[in-house]
Every structure is written in C-alpha cells, then in structure tokens.
Homo-oligomer: A and B are copies of this chain.
C-alpha cells in the first residue's frame, strides 16, 4: 500500500494532515482531556504542516491563554470554547441555527463558530421553543432561505419535530444538557430527537455543536457542487 495519506508524527499525536483533502474538514484538535501544551503542540504541528486553519474545540480558559500566548492574533471564542490560528475561507451558503431557549446558546455558538471556520454562512434565531409555538411558525421565511437547518434544544428536545414538519430542508438536531432531573444530562432530549415523529431529522451527540456544524457544512458544500 504505497499511497497512504500523510501523517505528521509528533510522538504523542499523529496529525492526519491530508484529512481536509479527503473529507473537506481538516483534523480539528479536541482539547478535552488534553493539557494546554498538548493542544498548543497539536495546533503548531498543523500550522507547520501547512494547514490554512489550525483549529481546536472544547478549549477551556487555561488552554485559551496558552493559545493566545503562542499566537497573539489567534481567534478565541470563549462562549463557543473554540480557538483557531489562521484565516477561515469566505462564507458561502447559509445555515439557519435555531435554539429552543437562551440556555442553549453556548452550544449554538459552537455550531456558528464551526460554520465560520468551515467557510459557511450562518444565521441564528434564538429562543423559539415550542411552549410558544407561534415563535416557531414565525421563522418560516428563514427556513425557506436556508440551505440546511440546525436545531439546538435541551429539556424536552421537542423543537426539531415541529421544525421538520414545516420545511423540506434537512434538520440537524443537537440535544443539549440543559435541564435537570429526568433530563438526565441531555438524554431526554437525545431520545426525543431520535424518535421524532417527523422524518428528515438527523441527530448528533449531546452538546456536539462541532459535529452539527461540520455536517451542515457538508450539506451546503454538497449543494454547491
């Protein structure tokens, strides 16, 4: 097997430097469970390998500080917990990002940052949960204008079911860990979304704004092909 993709071997990490070519998204550093030096090391490895954008998620305060110290002009979004070095591509298309409540905002911010880093446009409309369903109905024009829809909801996670019945766009559903008791850290919303009575809903992991953003970007790029 002579033509395996290239790997940048840092010892503690093997960077998959051809991943952007293969999948449209570069290897992105998951900072959860890594020390700040490990995350900075991975980002530096990607920069050294020529990545136009070296990018990390789940960036906590100490890691953000370490990134800024190494690259003073790095972009850090403390709400989304995302950091990057370099310049994202200019945005194409538009993804509509809805939240059920204000408390879901941090996850929606991760979706938005992921779209920005991916060079995809984003429009956010917040706090349109089904307890006041007229707020959902009011986003009909936004749905019609979007290439794809991401719906972020905790607690009962009921919003994607309603949205998917209103549009022919693909609905990417993100359950969040907002809630308490029988919300079970997002499990209730996750199950709701998996069993949505409206088809056209696809689900990512709890609080996984990054995965939702990457998926939505793939849809937009698919539409641009």
Beta-carbon nearest neighbor of A16 in chain B: B132
Per-residue contact bits, chain A 101-141, to B (CB 8 Å; 1 contact, 0 not): 11111000000000000000000001111111111111000
CB–CB B12/A165 < 8 A: no
Contact A222 B219 (CB under 8 A): yes
Instruction: Determine whether the beta carbon of A102 is less than 8 Å from that of B12.
Output: yes
Q: How many Å from the CB of A200 to the closest CB on chain B?
A: 5
**Minimal beta-carbon separation of A207 from chain B (angstroms):** 5
Q: Among B5, B155, B197, B199, which residue has its beta carbon within 8 angstroms of that of A195? A: B155
Q: Of A22, A129, A180, A185, which is in contact with the most chain B CB atoms at under 10 Å from its CB?
A: A180
Closest B residue to A206 by CB, please name it.
B181
**Most chain B beta-carbon neighbours within 10 Å: one of A2, A25, A28, A200:** A200
Q: Give Cα A177–Cα B11 distance, bound, in whole angstroms.
A: 22
Task: Identify the closest chain B residue to A100 (Cβ).
Answer: B197
Collect the chain B residues with CB atoms within 8 Å of residue A175's CB. Answer: 181
Kindly specify which of A46-54, A69-77, A186-194 makes contact with the partner chain: A186-194
A57 to chain B, nearest CB (A): 10
A-B contact pairs, 28 of them (CB 8 A): A12-B105, A12-B126, A16-B135, A16-B165, A19-B131, A32-B103, A32-B178, A33-B178, A130-B130, A130-B161, A130-B162, A133-B133, A133-B165, A155-B195, A156-B192, A156-B195, A158-B197, A179-B195, A181-B195, A181-B206, A181-B207, A182-B190, A182-B194, A183-B205, A188-B191, A201-B211, A222-B223, A223-B225
4 smallest CB-CB distances across A and B, nearest first, come from A181-B206, A33-B103, A202-B202, A24-B168
Interface of A toward B, CB cutoff 8 Å: 1-5, 7, 11-14, 16, 19, 22-25, 27-28, 30, 32-34, 38, 42, 58, 100-105, 126-138, 147-148, 154-158, 161-162, 164-170, 172, 175, 177-208, 210-211, 214-215, 218-219, 221-223, 225
| Further pairs besides A13-B127, A184-B191, A201-B211: 5, Cβ < 8 Å | A156-B161, A180-B205, A188-B195, A199-B210, A200-B218
